[in-house]
A = this chain, B = another copy of it.
Amino acid sequence: MIFQKRTHTCGELRIENEHQEVTLNGWISVLRDMGGLIFIDLRDRYGITQLVIEPSETPELAEKSKELKSEFVIWAKGIVRKRENPNPKIPTGLIEILINDFEIINRSELPPFEIKDDLETSEELRLRYRYLDLRRQSLQKNFIARHKLYQTVHSYFDSMGFIEVETPVLMKSTPEGARDFLVPSRINKGRFYALPQSPQIFKQILMISGFDRYVQIVKCFRDEDLRSDRQPEFTQIDIEMSFINREDIFQLIEGLFQKIWKDILNLEISIPFPRLSYYEAMTRFGSDKPDTRFQMEIVTITDIVKNCQFKVFTDTINSGGEVALINAKGCAGFSRKKLDELTEFAKKYGAMGLAWMKLQNGEINSPISKFFNTNELDSIIAASNTEEGDLLLIISSNKLRCYTVLGALRNEIAKQTGIIQNISNKFSFLWVTDFPLLEFDDEEKRYVSMHHPFTSPMDEDLALLEKQPERVRAKAYDIVVNGAEIGGGSIRIHDGSVQSRIFSLLGMSQSEAEAKFGFLLDALKFGAPPHGGIALGLDRIVMTLCGTENIRDVIAFPKTTSGLSLMDGAPTFVDEKQLTELGIKLINS
């Protein structure tokens, strides 16, 4: 295929190039035959340039142009000239190319949807024809941002003395938490590799090897039942450091985000980020990933109402629960219907019900106000800073549930009242710290790690490990922006005996711990340094930077929530022969 190679891209020419002869290559975006003039918008990754054919001057080109259709690939040569009608919306809008020659390089069938932004077509069709979908500039800009993010990450960590090391993709299966994807071994039949859920153990091994500072942008895999914001393969920025405490991680990561926001959005974000303990995050915002772009903090009124006449509250309090509320400012006008919907919403999150009070015309309007004396009501009003027109939403429940329901209500009210929309271009980072080390899993009837089994307990809580495991706090931390967790990490256990105690607390027998994690326990015997790290969710960071809630907008070839790649049809059935070679067969064959 001989074609005339471009001298410039379609995003490059300016008025300064007037009178130059140039050649462009690209796709036909829009074609308009105005009779006296034929206009072609030629598109490539870099932009759009208007081409013009003057039928009176070049009738043979005009004739040839009748063959052209949308998405044809052409080369075109011509002279840059000033436009009579400039288009101020595009950088090349002051010029056009009067073309004196062109050829079709490749043809296109009629695309199943138009290549334009703000597309009204099903995501399914777009994923099926992903190569056309990806031609849209609104998607391409996400991948350019993603590319810039890689660059910033690579150069930042290099400047901080980190070494990028690749950890294996074919590794050992150590299911703990989510399910592993398995890969049958042909050479060692009957045995399986697993794809990494995270390179956690390998990065700890690298610290034990003395690598001191490790970073990797790495694909991780989880065989979960997918939610709309999850993908079976996702990308994390994986970091580990030796001879540090968590403050070193905080500073490192704050510097990173400062640089990312500057490089990509040209925004200054201020550091250090606020630090909230898990306890504080839960009791003030009802979430371990609070959206701190707005207030509406939770107010605990247990003490105020503990002697009230409302039995629902006092019963809850007497059995160790809490009563707390949020003040939905200016929402006293909410209809009964809306309040019923909010009650249903609260129930979905596990509440038994939702109590409310409105301050309207200077009076408290509430189905339950009669159960409280003036003192109690005044105290509630004062504690929640309630003003005329406000609506209080009150939950009484066991501690954890009381706060998580209010946390969910808080986000819901912010969404319904337009608060979220008004702050969509704000970024509010914070650290959540001091997580509990363990949580009791009611299904498995045992303690499970809240972070992962390699997380160090707080030194001062070590003595509680076997006695009151639920009270032990971890040296774990999450980084949160705008209500989304974008990373989590911890100081790790570097003492083999502590690691063994944790495995045993998690219900692992010694032989089981040996079989699964023996190589880590071995490695801890040979001089492991104190170390810790973090893993940041790269896909989620790109989503935040690009302002999209759809993870498929930032992954070039994503899977559906059923794990399908609609473009190529993966996963597919394979030859019996391939399976036989692997020593496996399908269960119902």
Contact = CB atoms under 8 A, between A and B. Distances in A.
Interface of A: 1-3, 5-6, 9, 25, 27, 43-46, 71-73, 105-109, 111, 129-135, 140, 143-144, 146-147, 150-151, 154-155, 158, 163-173, 175, 179-195, 201-202, 205-206, 208-212, 219, 221, 223, 225-226, 232-233, 235, 242-245, 456, 459, 494-495, 519, 522-523, 525-530, 555-557, 559, 562-565, 567-575, 578-589
Given A166-B555, A205-B131, A211-B45, A188 B526 contact: no
Contacts of A169: 169, 195, 219, 221, 233
A20 to B, nearest CB: 19
Contact of A106 (B155, B210, B527): B527
A170 B221 contact: yes
Contacts of A173: 570, 572, 574, 578
Contacts of A181: 170, 183
B526 A108 contact: yes
B583 A584 contact: no
Contacts of A140: 210-211
A559 B585 CA distance: 26
A495 B131 CA distance: 16
Contact of A584 (B193, B209, B585): B585
**How often does this chain occur in the complex, in copies?**
2
A187 B181 CA distance: 11
B557 A202 contact: yes
29 contacts: A1-B494, A5-B244, A27-B529, A71-B527, A73-B528, A106-B530, A109-B526, A129-B526, A132-B526, A140-B210, A143-B211, A147-B158, A166-B556, A168-B233, A169-B221, A170-B221, A170-B570, A172-B569, A172-B570, A179-B186, A182-B183, A187-B226, A191-B572, A205-B567, A519-B567, A519-B569, A579-B584, A580-B587, A584-B585
Given A150-B164, A235-B166, A212 B494 contact: no
Contact of A188 (B158, B530, B564): B564
A3 B530 contact: yes
A44 B210 contact: yes
A533 to B, nearest CB: 16
A585 B583 CA distance: 9
B172 A568 contact: yes
Nearest to A219: B169
A172 B572 contact: yes
A556 B218 CA distance: 15
Nearest to A132: B526
B170 A527 contact: no
A209 B210 CA distance: 44
A138 to B, nearest CB: 13
Given A106-B495, A210-B44, A586 B583 contact: yes
